[in-house]
Structure 1
Amino acid sequence: MQERCLWHDTSPEPPLDLGKLQGDHTTDVLVIGGGITGLSTALHLAEAGISVTLIEAGDVPSGASGRNVGLVNAGLWIPPDDIVEVLGEEIGERANSILGGAPALVFSLIERHGIECQATRTGTLHLAHNGKGDQELARRAEQLQRRGAPVELLEADDCQRLVGTQRIRRALLDHRAGTLNPNAYTRGLARAAQAVGARLFTHSAATGVSRTGEDWSITTPHGSVKARRLVLATNAYTEDRWNEIRHHFFPGFFFQVASRPLPEELAGDILPERQGAWDTRMVLSSMRRDAEGRLILGSLGKGDGKPAAFLRCWANRIQRHYFPQLGSIEWECSWSGRIGFTPDHTLRLFELAPGVLGVSGYNGRGITTGTVVGKGFAQYLISGDDDALPLPIRSPKPIRARSLRSSSYEGGFTLYHTGQCLRVLI
């Protein structure tokens, strides 16, 4: 089993030859970070006729935007009533409404710009793995249906038909959602942004930021940019000491393991409508199939650095529990990425200094949330109105004990997966 990202290898959208930023440039808005948030910001600004430049330290994409599970999910990680409890009635329902409509924005951009990313619009499935999970899904379904969301609680045969396992007796089907190849979607956003006038540069890390009057000056290894406004779209991949985003999340990780393509006669009853799925375990297992019929399993925690035998053992354990009809299958590759976590499981939007916008803490919902935030940032930069953003722009306090939180999460994830491999947990 090789350590490489399947989405990169199978992307229908080819990589763009964007080149390094060289020399001195001037722009209205500079975006730092070439993931979904940054590219959505650049695309929507350029469509409005605003001069925008984007710089990315690696390729587009190189972070979680091209390495995630590829679920086009609605809402935040926590249920809508919990969001209201954390954020208050007005802001909580604003977040529920805007992020509930986020998949529609993603799919509209895919259609409008002809992005070839193997998108499906058949929904996603949240799977109850035990009685407590049954209750949790019933709670979520009631809250979502009360708000008019098109979700459906599936039972028994209907559930088993869409999942392909006898282990799951209840699942929550969210008709708003779907799946895609995240690498291809991100490349497609870059192509669309460039086509409407955004200037994009790769392998051009920001090495310093300074203020001169009302302008910001950003240096890179081979050039510089002067801009009136900055957008810091680096989230979980923020590492530079000058970048204040690093104080507003604590890093977590996820990994995925993909099989070789499985013949339809063997695996055709597993997620036959190509929904993406995840279960209600304390440390979730995700599962989906790609356009070529691979089974892709994933979970929280680091995969890189762990022995291939450990990841293979974990994948075999999950596959044989849920889909024993496959027998023994061969695992083709594995890969990992980062997640920006926050203590309350909600994102943060802020203006770090006059003219400097930032975001952190997608908590594993980056495809839809990043797309919405990028569009909202563009509107705010154009009009000063933040009502297209899921939350108002604030000045939150930095997160304390970030390293301790991160190591505690990772230690718990590893212990849980070890228990699964040893058949103590399932």
Structure 2
Amino acid sequence: MTSDLTSSLWHKTCQETPASSALTGEVTADMVVIGGGYTGCSAALRAAEMGASVCLIEAEVFGYGGSGRNVGLSNAGLWLPPEEINAQLGKEVGSKLSQALGEAPDLVYGLIERHGIACEPVRNGTLHCAHAPSGRPDLQRRADQLQAIGAPVQLLDAGEAQARVGSDAVHGALFDPRAGTLQPLGFARGLARAAHEAGAQIHDQTPATAITQAKGIWQVTTPQGSIRAKQLIMATNGYARPVAGYDAPAIVPVHYFQGATPPLTQAQQEQILPGREGCWDSALVMSSWRLDQQGRLVIGAMGALDHFGSSIHRTWLDRKLAAMFPALAGTKLESLWFGRIAMTGEYLPKIEKLQDGYVSFGYSGRGIGPGTLFGQKMAEALISGDEARLPLPASHGHSLPFAGLRGAYYETGATLTHLIKDRV
């Protein structure tokens, strides 16, 4: 299987279709944004709202990268708990970041409502589930740290978690009412549409082939045209392509695959995730599950589907489905797809300073809230000249030795885990 977006459920059910075409000719703008996922579309939307002329380009179609292959969990915060964030960034910077990302679902769902984005939004919270009794202490630690900074999270015992999930394969859960689910490709494309309606020029099928800067002006060359702009935001994250004159920051490439069942019966939906929370577990090789608007169960885990061992992931998915929800044993999955997650060595997102520009990356699987927030705040910081608007300070330079080998390590670990897990 290739990483073609069209194999995903989200492509098949997306209702947002922003009007766009490839860029031809020369364009002059205040800001050029490269990358049509959450970060780039959010940046273009905010810049246009602030009165800037904006040109947003995407090499493929909007949402083609990680944004359109996402699980669709709009989380509050990062994978790391607050004290670990503070240990790496310092208490002042870490606390600011945790607060900003804790409020990120407000931003996401506010944009959905304001712009009428058709993306199946459900804000009924998320459940971080203990995959075994050994996972409960970690959930307790996370609950303690989140409650200490005012997050309204609640630790559920095994019985309540099992009732909410509809499975006895979970052993407790951390419930976060701030979060929710959405149709991830629809949200990305809805942001692109909103940016266009706000006055931004948007162009898909328009890869950047070369980037230069001279005398305070960025020049971005594309196959059929070019853009001149004072400011630049690079928002390609895990799907950066080679561009002459620009070296993308190194990331650890980690893959995540998913499958979707046909719509469950009404009786099954009353039993499985009756509250429509989005879920993921505490296992080292994480898995996730949720329902879409039509009642399909979407279930997935770490791993890619484009190598010789990918059949291991696919057969494990069938076993996992049966282990989690015995009533669904033998259900044929209608869609299978995977995408790439950009991780950093610290599991923290980063903003890197360019001359009159920024690049952000490394959301580590939390792209919806952080990507939307970072895009908005980078646009605000550039237009206002106030870097204090950034959710964390911009860095200068980034190195990540052996990034590709680290990615191979994660894939090997996921494949070996799925070879032996959930066997009867």
TM-score by length of 2: 0.96
* SS class of match (2:413): helix
Q: What is the CA deviation profile of residues 121-143 of structure 1, one whole-angstrom value per residue up to 9, with x for unaligned ones?
A: 10000000123210000000011
Q: What is the CA deviation profile of residues 92-140 of structure 1, one whole-angstrom value per residue up to 9, with x for unaligned ones?
A: 1111110111011000000111111100010000000123210000000
In 1, Cα distance between equivalents of 2:268 and 2:129: 22
Q: What is the CA deviation profile of residues 339-364 of structure 1, one whole-angstrom value per residue up to 9, with x for unaligned ones?
A: 10111100110113x11310110100
4+ aligned runs moved over 6 Å, structure 1: none
Call closer, same or farther: CA 1:88–1:184 in 2, change over 3 Å.
same
In 2, Cα distance between equivalents of 1:205 and 1:158: 49
In 2, Cα distance between equivalents of 1:386 and 1:133: 39
Give the aligned residue type for 2:414. Answer: F
Alignment correspondent of 1:128:
130
In 1, Cα distance between equivalents of 2:214 and 2:123: 48
Q: Aligned pair 1:223/2:229, yes or no?
A: no
The offset of 1:308, in angstroms, is 7.5
In 2, Cα distance between equivalents of 1:140 and 1:76: 11
In 2, Cα distance between equivalents of 1:21 and 1:251: 29
Q: Aligned pair 1:12/2:50, yes or no?
A: no
In 2, Cα distance between equivalents of 1:85 and 1:221: 45
Q: Aligned pair 1:341/2:309, yes or no?
A: no
Gaps of 5+ in 2: none
Q: What is the CA deviation profile of residues 291-315 of structure 1, one whole-angstrom value per residue up to 9, with x for unaligned ones?
A: 1111111111112346785444211
In 2, Cα distance between equivalents of 1:376 and 1:106: 13
Q: 2:119 aligns with which of 109, 117, 123?
A: 117
* SS class of match (1:379): helix
Give the aligned residue type for 1:79. Answer: P
Call closer, same or farther: CA 1:291–1:396 in 2, change over 3 Å.
same
User: Please, what is the CA RMSD of the aligned residues?
Assistant: 1.8
Give the aligned residue type for 1:11. Answer: C
Q: Aligned pair 1:102/2:95, yes or no?
A: no
Q: What is the CA deviation profile of residues 25-62 of structure 1, one whole-angstrom value per residue up to 9, with x for unaligned ones?
A: 10000001011100000000000110110111001121
Alignment correspondent of 2:69:
67
Q: 1:183 aligns with which of 179, 182, 185?
A: 185
Q: 2:200 aligns with which of 188, 198, 201?
A: 198
In 2, Cα distance between equivalents of 1:404 and 1:264: 46
Alignment correspondent of 1:137:
139
In 2, Cα distance between equivalents of 1:401 and 1:327: 40
Gaps of 5+ in 1: none
In 2, Cα distance between equivalents of 1:337 and 1:149: 30
Call closer, same or farther: CA 1:182–1:374 in 2, change over 3 Å.
same
The offset of 1:397, in angstroms, is 2.9
Task: Answer whether contact 1:376 1:387 (CA < 8 A) is retained.
Answer: no
Call closer, same or farther: CA 1:105–1:142 in 2, change over 3 Å.
same
In 1, Cα distance between equivalents of 2:147 and 2:235: 33
Alignment correspondent of 1:385:
386
Task: Answer whether contact 2:210 2:243 (CA < 8 A) is retained.
Answer: no
* SS class of match (1:296): strand
Give the aligned residue type for 2:201. Answer: R
In 2, Cα distance between equivalents of 1:231 and 1:7: 26
Task: Answer whether contact 1:339 1:364 (CA < 8 A) is retained.
Answer: yes
Q: 1:246 aligns with which of 227, 234, 248?
A: 248
Alignment correspondent of 1:365:
366
Paired residues for 1:285-296 under 5 Å? 285-296=287-298
Call closer, same or farther: CA 1:304–1:274 in 2, change over 3 Å.
farther
Give the aligned residue type for 2:372. Answer: T
Q: What is the CA deviation profile of residues 52-73 of structure 1, one whole-angstrom value per residue up to 9, with x for unaligned ones?
A: 1011100112111111000000
* SS class of match (1:260): strand
Task: Answer whether contact 1:257 1:311 (CA < 8 A) is retained.
Answer: no
In 2, Cα distance between equivalents of 1:122 and 1:266: 19
* SS class of match (2:249): helix
* SS class of match (1:316): helix
In 1, Cα distance between equivalents of 2:387 and 2:178: 24
* SS class of match (2:253): strand
* SS class of match (2:334): strand
Alignment correspondent of 2:377:
376
In 2, Cα distance between equivalents of 1:72 and 1:319: 23
* SS class of match (2:151): coil
In 1, Cα distance between equivalents of 2:212 and 2:254: 30
Task: Answer whether contact 2:357 2:382 (CA < 8 A) is retained.
Answer: no
* SS class of match (1:7): helix
Alignment correspondent of 1:164:
166
